[in-house]
Amino acid sequence: MPHASIHDAAHGVTLDEIYHARARIKGQVSRTPLWHSRALSERFAAEVYLKLENLQPTGAFKLRGVTNMIAALIERHGHDALAKGVTTASTGNHGRAVAYAASRLGVPAVICLSTLVPANKVAAIEALGATVTRIGQSQDDAFEEARRLVKEEGMTLIPPFDDPLIAAGQGTIGLELLEDQPDLDRVILGLSGGGLLGGTGAALKAIRPQLNVTGVSLSAGAAMFESLTAGHPVAVEEVESLGDSLGGGIGLDNRCTFALVRDVMDDHFQVSENAIANAMVDMLEQEKMLVEGAAVVGLAALEEHQIDIKGQKVALVLSGNGVSLETLDQARQLVKR
Protein backbone atom coordinates (compact mmCIF):
# COMPACT_ATOMS: atom_id res chain seq x y z
CA MET A 1 0.00 0.00 0.00
CA PRO A 2 1.32 3.54 -0.72
CA HIS A 3 2.50 5.45 2.32
CA ALA A 4 1.65 9.08 2.98
CA SER A 5 4.02 11.18 5.07
CA ILE A 6 3.70 10.27 8.72
CA HIS A 7 4.98 13.68 9.79
CA ASP A 8 2.15 15.77 8.34
CA ALA A 9 -0.58 13.13 8.30
CA ALA A 10 -4.17 14.29 8.54
CA HIS A 11 -4.95 11.67 11.20
CA GLY A 12 -2.83 13.58 13.74
CA VAL A 13 -0.59 10.70 14.84
CA THR A 14 2.90 12.07 14.33
CA LEU A 15 6.20 10.90 15.75
CA ASP A 16 6.26 13.98 17.98
CA GLU A 17 2.86 13.05 19.42
CA ILE A 18 4.07 9.51 20.09
CA TYR A 19 7.08 10.87 22.00
CA HIS A 20 4.72 13.15 23.96
CA ALA A 21 2.63 10.08 24.75
CA ARG A 22 5.66 8.26 26.10
CA ALA A 23 6.41 11.13 28.46
CA ARG A 24 2.80 11.14 29.72
CA ILE A 25 2.57 7.41 30.41
CA LYS A 26 6.02 6.97 31.96
CA GLY A 27 5.76 5.34 35.37
CA GLN A 28 2.14 4.32 34.82
CA VAL A 29 2.58 1.77 32.02
CA SER A 30 5.18 -0.97 31.77
CA ARG A 31 8.03 -0.86 29.26
CA THR A 32 7.55 -4.44 28.18
CA PRO A 33 10.38 -6.84 27.23
CA LEU A 34 11.24 -7.87 23.69
CA TRP A 35 11.96 -11.56 24.15
CA HIS A 36 13.97 -13.60 21.65
CA SER A 37 12.18 -16.88 20.89
CA ARG A 38 14.70 -19.60 20.24
CA ALA A 39 12.01 -22.12 19.25
CA LEU A 40 10.31 -19.85 16.71
CA SER A 41 13.63 -18.61 15.36
CA GLU A 42 14.68 -22.19 14.63
CA ARG A 43 11.28 -23.05 13.14
CA PHE A 44 11.25 -20.15 10.67
CA ALA A 45 15.03 -19.82 10.08
CA ALA A 46 14.80 -16.22 11.24
CA GLU A 47 15.38 -14.12 14.34
CA VAL A 48 11.92 -13.99 15.93
CA TYR A 49 11.14 -11.74 18.89
CA LEU A 50 8.02 -11.50 21.04
CA LYS A 51 6.88 -8.10 22.33
CA LEU A 52 5.28 -9.03 25.64
CA GLU A 53 2.35 -6.64 26.01
CA ASN A 54 0.63 -9.44 27.92
CA LEU A 55 2.78 -8.31 30.87
CA GLN A 56 1.08 -4.91 31.22
CA PRO A 57 -0.64 -4.32 34.61
CA THR A 58 -4.02 -4.86 32.95
CA GLY A 59 -2.76 -7.72 30.79
CA ALA A 60 -2.89 -5.91 27.44
CA PHE A 61 -1.44 -3.04 25.39
CA LYS A 62 -4.64 -0.98 25.71
CA LEU A 63 -3.38 0.66 28.91
CA ARG A 64 -0.94 2.74 26.85
CA GLY A 65 -3.57 4.59 24.83
CA VAL A 66 -6.00 4.99 27.73
CA THR A 67 -3.34 6.41 30.03
CA ASN A 68 -2.15 8.85 27.37
CA MET A 69 -5.64 10.13 26.61
CA ILE A 70 -6.66 10.59 30.24
CA ALA A 71 -3.37 12.36 31.04
CA ALA A 72 -3.80 14.65 28.04
CA LEU A 73 -7.38 15.53 29.03
CA ILE A 74 -6.23 16.44 32.53
CA GLU A 75 -3.36 18.51 31.09
CA ARG A 76 -5.75 20.49 28.90
CA HIS A 77 -8.85 20.78 31.07
CA GLY A 78 -7.90 19.80 34.60
CA HIS A 79 -9.49 17.05 36.67
CA ASP A 80 -12.92 18.59 36.06
CA ALA A 81 -12.84 16.92 32.62
CA LEU A 82 -13.44 13.62 34.40
CA ALA A 83 -15.70 14.83 37.21
CA LYS A 84 -18.77 12.92 36.02
CA GLY A 85 -16.84 9.78 35.26
CA VAL A 86 -15.64 7.99 32.14
CA THR A 87 -17.25 5.53 29.79
CA THR A 88 -16.37 3.45 26.76
CA ALA A 89 -17.39 0.52 24.59
CA SER A 90 -15.00 -2.38 24.37
CA THR A 91 -14.37 -5.98 23.41
CA GLY A 92 -12.82 -6.40 26.85
CA ASN A 93 -9.19 -5.29 27.09
CA HIS A 94 -9.83 -1.59 26.51
CA GLY A 95 -12.63 -1.65 29.07
CA ARG A 96 -10.29 -3.16 31.61
CA ALA A 97 -7.71 -0.46 30.93
CA VAL A 98 -10.30 2.30 31.37
CA ALA A 99 -11.56 0.70 34.59
CA TYR A 100 -7.99 0.44 35.91
CA ALA A 101 -7.17 4.08 35.12
CA ALA A 102 -10.48 5.29 36.57
CA SER A 103 -9.94 3.35 39.80
CA ARG A 104 -6.52 4.96 40.27
CA LEU A 105 -8.05 8.42 39.80
CA GLY A 106 -11.07 7.67 41.98
CA VAL A 107 -13.61 8.47 39.26
CA PRO A 108 -16.61 6.31 38.29
CA ALA A 109 -16.47 4.24 35.11
CA VAL A 110 -19.20 2.59 33.07
CA ILE A 111 -17.96 0.03 30.55
CA CYS A 112 -20.40 -0.92 27.77
CA LEU A 113 -19.90 -4.43 26.37
CA SER A 114 -21.75 -6.54 23.85
CA THR A 115 -23.01 -9.98 24.84
CA LEU A 116 -20.18 -11.52 22.77
CA VAL A 117 -17.51 -10.42 25.28
CA PRO A 118 -16.32 -13.49 27.27
CA ALA A 119 -17.28 -13.78 30.93
CA ASN A 120 -13.67 -13.75 32.15
CA LYS A 121 -13.15 -10.28 30.64
CA VAL A 122 -16.38 -8.99 32.20
CA ALA A 123 -15.27 -10.27 35.61
CA ALA A 124 -11.85 -8.64 35.26
CA ILE A 125 -13.47 -5.25 34.58
CA GLU A 126 -15.91 -5.55 37.46
CA ALA A 127 -13.07 -6.53 39.81
CA LEU A 128 -11.62 -3.05 39.24
CA GLY A 129 -14.79 -1.39 40.53
CA ALA A 130 -16.31 -0.34 37.21
CA THR A 131 -19.96 -0.77 36.29
CA VAL A 132 -20.48 -3.10 33.32
CA THR A 133 -23.45 -2.70 30.99
CA ARG A 134 -24.12 -5.61 28.61
CA ILE A 135 -26.03 -4.56 25.52
CA GLY A 136 -26.50 -5.78 21.94
CA GLN A 137 -24.68 -8.24 19.73
CA SER A 138 -21.81 -6.03 18.60
CA GLN A 139 -19.37 -3.37 19.72
CA ASP A 140 -21.36 -0.87 17.65
CA ASP A 141 -24.43 -1.62 19.80
CA ALA A 142 -22.38 -1.08 22.95
CA PHE A 143 -21.10 2.21 21.55
CA GLU A 144 -24.63 3.54 21.26
CA GLU A 145 -25.05 3.14 25.02
CA ALA A 146 -21.69 4.81 25.69
CA ARG A 147 -22.69 7.78 23.54
CA ARG A 148 -25.98 8.03 25.45
CA LEU A 149 -24.08 8.22 28.73
CA VAL A 150 -21.96 11.03 27.33
CA LYS A 151 -24.94 12.97 26.02
CA GLU A 152 -27.37 12.45 28.88
CA GLU A 153 -25.13 12.03 31.92
CA GLY A 154 -22.10 14.11 30.98
CA MET A 155 -19.57 11.29 31.18
CA THR A 156 -16.29 11.52 29.26
CA LEU A 157 -15.81 9.06 26.41
CA ILE A 158 -12.49 7.21 26.19
CA PRO A 159 -12.72 5.61 22.73
CA PRO A 160 -11.08 2.22 22.18
CA PHE A 161 -9.11 3.14 19.06
CA ASP A 162 -10.39 5.96 16.85
CA ASP A 163 -8.62 8.90 18.43
CA PRO A 164 -5.11 10.34 17.85
CA LEU A 165 -4.32 10.28 21.57
CA ILE A 166 -5.25 6.61 21.85
CA ALA A 167 -3.27 5.65 18.75
CA ALA A 168 -0.26 7.72 19.85
CA GLY A 169 -0.26 5.88 23.17
CA GLN A 170 -0.20 2.54 21.39
CA GLY A 171 2.55 3.95 19.16
CA THR A 172 4.97 3.90 22.11
CA ILE A 173 5.27 0.16 21.39
CA GLY A 174 6.99 1.09 18.13
CA LEU A 175 9.53 3.28 19.93
CA GLU A 176 10.41 0.44 22.30
CA LEU A 177 10.68 -2.11 19.50
CA LEU A 178 13.26 -0.08 17.59
CA GLU A 179 15.19 0.88 20.70
CA ASP A 180 15.58 -2.81 21.55
CA GLN A 181 16.15 -4.01 17.96
CA PRO A 182 16.97 -1.06 15.65
CA ASP A 183 17.34 -3.23 12.54
CA LEU A 184 14.03 -5.08 12.62
CA ASP A 185 12.82 -6.12 9.15
CA ARG A 186 9.16 -6.84 9.93
CA VAL A 187 6.64 -6.33 12.73
CA ILE A 188 3.43 -8.39 12.73
CA LEU A 189 0.40 -7.13 14.66
CA GLY A 190 -3.26 -7.96 15.06
CA LEU A 191 -5.62 -5.64 13.19
CA SER A 192 -9.07 -4.65 14.39
CA GLY A 193 -9.97 -1.02 15.05
CA GLY A 194 -6.47 0.04 14.01
CA GLY A 195 -5.16 1.74 17.13
CA LEU A 196 -2.44 -0.83 17.77
CA LEU A 197 -1.28 -1.32 14.21
CA GLY A 198 -1.82 2.30 13.21
CA GLY A 199 -0.05 3.87 16.18
CA THR A 200 2.79 1.36 16.30
CA GLY A 201 3.15 1.48 12.53
CA ALA A 202 3.35 5.28 12.57
CA ALA A 203 6.32 5.16 14.93
CA LEU A 204 8.02 2.35 13.02
CA LYS A 205 7.63 3.99 9.60
CA ALA A 206 8.77 7.41 10.82
CA ILE A 207 11.98 5.98 12.25
CA ARG A 208 12.66 3.05 9.88
CA PRO A 209 10.64 3.50 6.66
CA GLN A 210 11.90 0.29 5.04
CA LEU A 211 10.47 -1.88 7.83
CA ASN A 212 7.49 -4.02 6.81
CA VAL A 213 4.31 -3.58 8.88
CA THR A 214 2.08 -6.65 8.59
CA GLY A 215 -1.52 -6.74 9.78
CA VAL A 216 -3.46 -9.88 10.69
CA SER A 217 -7.27 -10.09 10.95
CA LEU A 218 -9.83 -12.78 11.66
CA SER A 219 -11.14 -14.80 8.71
CA ALA A 220 -14.63 -13.37 9.33
CA GLY A 221 -15.69 -9.94 10.58
CA ALA A 222 -12.46 -8.21 9.52
CA ALA A 223 -13.92 -4.71 9.62
CA MET A 224 -10.78 -2.68 8.96
CA PHE A 225 -9.57 -4.87 6.11
CA GLU A 226 -13.02 -4.91 4.48
CA SER A 227 -13.14 -1.13 4.83
CA LEU A 228 -9.72 -0.65 3.27
CA THR A 229 -10.74 -2.91 0.40
CA ALA A 230 -13.91 -0.88 -0.13
CA GLY A 231 -12.06 2.42 0.16
CA HIS A 232 -14.24 3.68 3.01
CA PRO A 233 -15.49 2.43 6.40
CA VAL A 234 -18.07 -0.35 6.11
CA ALA A 235 -20.10 -2.34 8.61
CA VAL A 236 -19.47 -6.07 9.03
CA GLU A 237 -21.21 -8.72 11.09
CA GLU A 238 -19.39 -9.43 14.34
CA VAL A 239 -18.86 -13.14 15.03
CA GLU A 240 -17.64 -15.24 17.93
CA SER A 241 -13.97 -16.13 17.69
CA LEU A 242 -11.01 -17.37 19.72
CA GLY A 243 -9.54 -14.00 18.73
CA ASP A 244 -12.50 -12.09 20.20
CA SER A 245 -10.43 -8.94 20.86
CA LEU A 246 -10.14 -8.47 17.09
CA GLY A 247 -13.91 -8.33 16.64
CA GLY A 248 -16.05 -5.22 16.25
CA GLY A 249 -16.47 -2.49 13.67
CA ILE A 250 -14.31 0.55 13.02
CA GLY A 251 -17.20 3.05 12.98
CA LEU A 252 -18.77 4.39 9.81
CA ASP A 253 -17.64 7.86 10.91
CA ASN A 254 -14.04 6.76 11.54
CA ARG A 255 -11.88 9.88 11.68
CA CYS A 256 -8.40 8.59 12.54
CA THR A 257 -7.46 4.95 12.32
CA PHE A 258 -8.84 4.12 8.87
CA ALA A 259 -6.47 6.64 7.26
CA LEU A 260 -3.68 5.75 9.66
CA VAL A 261 -3.73 2.03 8.90
CA ARG A 262 -4.04 2.76 5.17
CA ASP A 263 -0.88 4.87 5.42
CA VAL A 264 1.34 2.50 7.39
CA MET A 265 0.33 -1.11 6.66
CA ASP A 266 2.34 -2.93 3.98
CA ASP A 267 0.55 -6.27 3.79
CA HIS A 268 -2.27 -8.16 5.42
CA PHE A 269 -3.39 -11.72 6.14
CA GLN A 270 -6.55 -13.30 7.52
CA VAL A 271 -6.35 -16.34 9.76
CA SER A 272 -8.75 -19.21 10.46
CA GLU A 273 -9.97 -20.39 13.85
CA ASN A 274 -7.88 -23.55 13.49
CA ALA A 275 -4.75 -21.50 12.88
CA ILE A 276 -5.45 -19.35 15.95
CA ALA A 277 -6.05 -22.48 18.05
CA ASN A 278 -2.78 -24.04 16.93
CA ALA A 279 -0.89 -20.85 17.71
CA MET A 280 -2.43 -20.56 21.18
CA VAL A 281 -1.43 -24.12 22.02
CA ASP A 282 2.05 -23.63 20.53
CA MET A 283 2.57 -20.50 22.61
CA LEU A 284 1.62 -22.34 25.78
CA GLU A 285 3.59 -25.50 25.10
CA GLN A 286 6.74 -23.98 23.59
CA GLU A 287 6.97 -20.53 25.18
CA LYS A 288 5.08 -21.37 28.41
CA MET A 289 2.81 -18.35 27.92
CA LEU A 290 -0.97 -18.39 28.24
CA VAL A 291 -2.20 -15.62 25.93
CA GLU A 292 -5.44 -14.82 24.16
CA GLY A 293 -6.26 -15.68 20.57
CA ALA A 294 -5.84 -12.10 19.33
CA ALA A 295 -2.28 -12.10 20.70
CA VAL A 296 -1.11 -15.05 18.60
CA VAL A 297 -2.50 -14.13 15.18
CA GLY A 298 1.01 -13.17 14.02
CA LEU A 299 2.23 -16.70 14.65
CA ALA A 300 -1.01 -18.06 13.14
CA ALA A 301 -0.39 -16.08 9.94
CA LEU A 302 3.23 -17.23 9.66
CA GLU A 303 2.08 -20.84 9.85
CA GLU A 304 -1.13 -20.72 7.84
CA HIS A 305 0.17 -18.54 5.00
CA GLN A 306 3.78 -19.77 5.09
CA ILE A 307 5.08 -16.20 5.08
CA ASP A 308 8.73 -16.24 4.05
CA ILE A 309 10.73 -14.53 6.80
CA LYS A 310 13.91 -16.57 6.37
CA GLY A 311 16.94 -14.58 7.47
CA GLN A 312 14.85 -11.65 8.74
CA LYS A 313 14.52 -10.05 12.16
CA VAL A 314 10.81 -10.21 12.97
CA ALA A 315 8.79 -9.08 16.00
CA LEU A 316 5.37 -10.48 16.90
CA VAL A 317 3.31 -8.30 19.24
CA LEU A 318 1.64 -10.45 21.92
CA SER A 319 -1.16 -8.01 22.62
CA GLY A 320 -2.83 -9.49 25.70
CA ASN A 321 -3.41 -12.34 28.13
CA GLY A 322 -7.19 -12.15 28.55
CA VAL A 323 -7.98 -15.81 27.99
CA SER A 324 -9.98 -18.18 30.17
CA LEU A 325 -9.21 -21.86 30.69
CA GLU A 326 -12.52 -22.58 28.96
CA THR A 327 -11.36 -20.76 25.83
CA LEU A 328 -8.01 -22.52 25.97
CA ASP A 329 -9.87 -25.83 26.14
CA GLN A 330 -11.84 -24.85 23.03
CA ALA A 331 -8.53 -24.18 21.26
CA ARG A 332 -7.16 -27.55 22.33
CA GLN A 333 -10.27 -29.29 21.01
CA LEU A 334 -9.80 -27.63 17.62
CA VAL A 335 -6.16 -28.71 17.53
CA LYS A 336 -7.16 -32.32 18.18
CA ARG A 337 -9.59 -32.48 15.24
Cβ–Cβ under 8 Å, residues 303 and 272 = no
Q: Active-site residue numbers?
A: 62, 319
Cβ–Cβ under 8 Å, residues 151 and 225 = no
R_g of the chain, CA atoms, integer Å: 18
Helix/strand/coil for 156: strand
Q: Where are the alpha helices (DSSP H) in the chain?
A: 15-25, 38-44, 62-77, 93-105, 119-126, 139-153, 164-180, 195-207, 223-230, 257-264, 273-287, 297-304, 325-336
DSSP string, 180-219: H-TT--EEEEE-SSSHHHHHHHHHHHHH-TTSEEEEEEES
